[in-house]
Amino acid sequence: MAYEPPQLEVYINQFAAKTFAKPYHREFVNILNLKGHERVLDYGSGAGGPASLIAKTLKKGNGFLTCVDISQRWMDCAKKMLSKYENVDFYLGHIAKLDIKDNSYDIVGIHFVIHDIPAESWPEVTSSLASKLKTGGLLYMREPVSDIQQAENMMSLFERAGMQRVYVKDVKVPLSSRTIEMCMKK
Ligand SMILES: C[S@@+](CC[C@H](N)C(=O)[O-])C[C@H]1O[C@@H](n2cnc3c(N)ncnc32)[C@H](O)[C@@H]1O
């Protein structure tokens, strides 16, 4: 069963995405280094903060964004936030079960999502995400971690799914515990 947020949490997130969290969403979207023509999968799109910035950039170059989330309420939120963009589609459910074509994305973005997922599901999630990328495609992730071992575990799973490490580093995100940013290449 997906966690469905109470309406208050939704309002707070929507407010955050339009105000104080926006610079951090922008910072994440900047590292994706989008030219505009890419196909991007935003995993765990939530209220649509990073997704709306990605969609705006992709609109300029005929790129395309797919938003995936497990929660109906967050998905409704993202749909509302992105309603003015035509270059976006939305998938609700488990990435391993969704009818999304393999080898079809240039970039996967994951912003503060994996910590919400039980560790026993990580192998399936990481291999499904890797399968959606084209060869040479890049996966960028920002996640709060308890220690570096947790980041190592995530990277090892992506490696097992046939990806290589590009970099991992600590980043400062206000109100978040230790946060790492990583990039993996297929
Ligand atoms: C903390 S929010 C982050 C939302 C967005 N990425 C952002 O930075 O604003 C985490 C999101 O991940 C979603 N999520 C949790 N488990 C998921 C899963 N197994 N598959 C897809 N999305 C999931 C939640 O529903 C929620 O929308």
Nearest CA to ligand 1 atom 15: 116
Nearest CA to ligand 1 atom 27: 46
Q: What is the pLDDT of residues 50-77, one digit of tens each?
A: 999 999 999 999 999 999 999 999 999 9
Q: What is the pLDDT of residue 138?
A: 98
Q: What is the pLDDT of residue 148?
A: 85
For domain 7-185, the question of CATH label 3.40.50.150 is answered with yes
Q: Which residues contact 86 (CB under 8 A, 6 or more apart)?
A: none
Judge if the beta carbon of residue 116 lies within 6 A of ligand 1.
Answer: yes
* pLDDT classification of 3: cutoffs 50, 70, 90: confident
**Cα distances (angstroms) measured from residue 130 to each of 147, 178, 184:** 24, 25, 9
Q: Parallel, antiparallel, or unpaired for β 133-144 and 39-43?
A: unpaired
- pLDDT at residue 93 greater than cutoff 80: yes
Q: What is the pLDDT of residue 118?
A: 93
Residue type, 101: K
For the chain, the domains span 7-185
For the chain, give the secondary structure using H, E and C: CCCCCCHHHHHHHHHHHHCCCHHHHHHHHHHCCCCCCCEEEEECCCCCHHHHHHHHHHHCCCCEEEEEECCHHHHHHHHHHCCCCCCEEEEECCHHHCCCCCCCEEEEEEECCHHHCCHHHHHHHHHHHHHHEEEEEEEEEEEECCCHHHHHHHHHHHHHCCCEEEEEEEECCCCCCCEEEEEEEC
Among 40, 72, 116, 122, name the best residue to mutate to test ligand 1's pocket (greatest count of ligand atoms within 8 A of Cβ). Answer: 116
Ligand 1 centroid distance, CA of 177 (Å)? 17
Q: What is the mean pLDDT of residues 155-178?
A: 92
Instruction: Give yes or no for a contact between 54 and 140, defined as CB atoms under 8 angstroms apart.
Output: no
Judge if the beta carbon of residue 49 lies within 6 A of ligand 1.
Answer: yes
Ligand 1 centroid distance, CA of 70 (Å)? 7
Judge if the beta carbon of residue 142 lies within 6 A of ligand 1.
Answer: no
- pLDDT at residue 175 greater than cutoff 80: no
- pLDDT at residue 176 greater than cutoff 80: no
Nearest CA to ligand 1 atom 4: 46
Q: What is the pLDDT of residues 28-56, one digit of tens each?
A: 999 999 999 999 999 999 999 999 999 99
Q: What is the pLDDT of residue 132?
A: 98
Judge if the beta carbon of residue 109 lies within 6 A of ligand 1.
Answer: no
